[in-house]
Each structure stands twice: as C-alpha cells, then as structure tokens.
Amino acid sequence: MRARGRTSRWLWRWRANPLRRHDDVLEAWLVLAVWLIVAVGGTFAGFMAAHSAADVFAGQRAERAPVQAVLLTDAPRASETYRRALVTVRWTPAGGPARTGRTLVDAGRTAGSHVVVWTNPRGDLTTEPPGPTESLAEAVLFGAGAALAVTGLGLGAGAAGRCVLDRRRVESWGREWDQLAPH
C-alpha cells in the first residue's frame, strides 16, 4: 500500500510540468551545485590544506637543528604572567663562527648556563619546529578550517542565489496578480 500524503517527488524540479517556472529549474541546478561544492570542494580543500601544512611542518623539522648555546646575561625571575625571558645567548652553528643573538629561555636562568636553541640552515636563531604529534594536530585543524571555509562560502553563495531567485518569483507573482486582480 502506498503512503498517503507524500507530496515530494525525486527530481521534481527537473520534470516536465506546466507549473514549473524557469526559476525553479535554476534553483534546482543551484542547489545541486552548492551541494557538490560542499561535498567535493570542501573535502578537497580540507585534504589539500592538511597535506600542505604537514609538508611544511616536516620541512621545518628537517631543516632546523638544535645547537647548544651559553647565556650571556641573567634571565629575570619568573612572575605570574611571564615564565620565559628574552636574553642574549652565544652559539656556534655547524661550520661557522660563534654568533650572538636574543632568544626566549626559561626565567631565572643565570649567565653561563647552557640552553638548547634552534637554528635554520644559515645558522640564524629560529623557533623550535613542532613535533610529529603537534604537526598532525595543526594539520588537521588547518584542513578542517579550509573545509569549513569552502563550505561556508558555497552555502553563502547558494543562499544569496536563492534569495535573488525568491525575489524574482515574488515580483513575478506581483505582476501576475496585478493582471488578474481586476478580473
């Protein structure tokens, strides 16, 4: 026995129907395009962003190297708001002369203490690269952000398009009513 009361039919906007308007067909194609953008575009953007971020983090881990450095100045004591302090250190990069620079170290360290700093291939100070777990978490977040951005843009564009179509339908109904109302 067939269910009663069901008025929706599959692909009803594309079927031949004397009451179907051109705007209905446009809206059907617009909805299809938006869902394709959300499903395919969002997924693709998410995977590409996550893959790119993972590559960048792997490159950082490969090119940055830890080096022993000596503090040249005392680091101020820790406070409630600051647990690290900016101090001058001296380090010797591989195959180069000794260099000095400023970096963040744990607060309360004294001059002459040894710390590990990270250098880039030129021997300049840089930040510690994220570890594999941190890289994975950040890559997933970048991917999710990209997927949500593409999805949001697609849904927003679709909503704007449907709003324009709705406005055109209301104006069309108004013109038709103006023609029929006197009769």
Name the residue type at position 183.
Answer: H
- pLDDT, tens digit (0-9, with 9 covering 90-100), for 12-41: 556 677 777 888 888 889 999 999 999 999
- pLDDT, tens digit (0-9, with 9 covering 90-100), for 111-145: 999 999 999 988 899 999 999 999 999 999 999 99
CB atoms within 10 A of CB 85: 19
The pair of three-digit structure tokens given for residue 180, joined into one six-digit string: 């029929």
How much is the average pLDDT of 87-106? 89
Tell me the C-alpha distance between 95 and 20, whole Å: 77
Map the chain to HEC letters.
CCCCCCCCCCCCCCCCCCCCCHHHHHHHHHHHHHHHHHHHHHHHHHHHHHHHHHHHHHHHHHHCEEEEEEECCCCCCCCCCCCEEEEEEEECCCCCCCEEEEEEEECCCCCCCEEEEEECCCCCEECCCCCHHHHHHHHHHHHHHHHHHHHHHHHHHHHHHHHHHHHHHHHHHHHHHHHHCCC
Check residue 7 and give its pLDDT: 56
CB atoms within 10 A of CB 154: 20
The pair of three-digit structure tokens given for residue 39, joined into one six-digit string: 């499903």
Q: Whole-model pTM?
A: 0.72
